[in-house]
């Protein structure tokens, strides 16, 4: 089941799940969790419900995934740019199609909100997420190496025009 974020504990779960999962799977340090905490706090404090939303995926009543759609707060043609943020599917929810469903929900909302395009930033180890993005028509528009979260990574920016 996918529902809108908004129940008590949802925001904290998003931060905790990202911190724990990325540390375990990729060796990322707590600076990544801090980044996610800032994204979540900004969303909670500044959300424009007409232009921004977030979703939680549940399996057997437990949270197993999330995705956020936020306004880039920049104008790039008619409608501006939506940003897909902090997609996550816990191992318990993988292989169920929830990742694709979360991204589809995000895209549907962004189109309905009148955005002209959607952008996202990810990193090279996130192969499964990249497959979801490419399958939905996102194209790689920028790639650059960086050292973040305690490891060397290649940051990747993808764009999808509506």
Q: How confident is the model at residue 90 (pLDDT cuts 50, 70, 90)?
A: very high
Q: What is the mean pLDDT of residues 3-12?
A: 98
Q: Is the pLDDT at 22 greater than 60, yes or no?
A: yes
Q: What is the mean pLDDT of residues 98-115?
A: 97
Q: What is the mean pLDDT of residues 145-153?
A: 97
> 104: domain CATH number?
3.40.630.30
Q: What is the mean pLDDT of residues 101-128?
A: 97
The number of folded domains in the chain is 1
Contact criterion met (CB below 8 Å) for 88 and 14 = yes
58 or 77: which leads in pLDDT: 58
Tell me what pLDDT residue 31 has: 98
Q: What is the mean pLDDT of residues 107-121?
A: 97
Any alpha helices (H) in the chain, and if so which ranges? 10-26, 30-46, 98-112, 127-135
Q: What is the pLDDT of residues 28-58, one digit of tens each?
A: 999 999 999 999 999 999 999 999 999 999 9
Going from the C-alpha of 69 to that of each of 50, 60, 159, the distances in angstroms are 11, 25, 14
Instruction: Write out the residue range of the structural domain in which residue 112 sits.
Output: 2-161
pTM listed for this prediction: 0.95
Give, as one character, the DSSP assignment of residue 124.
T
Rounded Cα gap, residues 110 and 116, in angstroms? 9
Exposure string of 29-46, with b = 16+ CB inside 10 Å and e = fewer, is eeebbebbbebbeebeee
């Amino acid at each position: 089941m996918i529902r809108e974020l908004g129940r008590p504990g949802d925001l904290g779960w998003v931060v905790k799940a990202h911190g724990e999962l990325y540390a375990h799977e990729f060796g990322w340090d707590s600076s990544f969790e801090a980044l996610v905490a800032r994204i979540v706090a900004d969303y909670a404090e500044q959300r424009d419900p007409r232009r921004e939303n977030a979703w939680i995926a549940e399996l057997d009543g437990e949270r197993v995934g999330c995705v956020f759609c936020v306004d880039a707060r920049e104008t790039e043609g008619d409608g501006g740019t939506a940003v897909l943020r902090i997609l996550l599917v816990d191992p318990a929810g993988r292989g169920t199609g929830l990742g694709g469903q979360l991204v589809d929900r995000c895209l549907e909302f962004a189109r309905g909100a009148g955005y002209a395009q959607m952008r996202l930033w990810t990193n090279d180890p996130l192969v499964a997420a990249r497959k979801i993005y490419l399958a939905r028509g996102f194209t790689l528009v920028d790639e650059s190496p960086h050292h973040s979260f305690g490891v060397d990574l290649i940051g990747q920016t993808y764009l999808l025009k509506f």
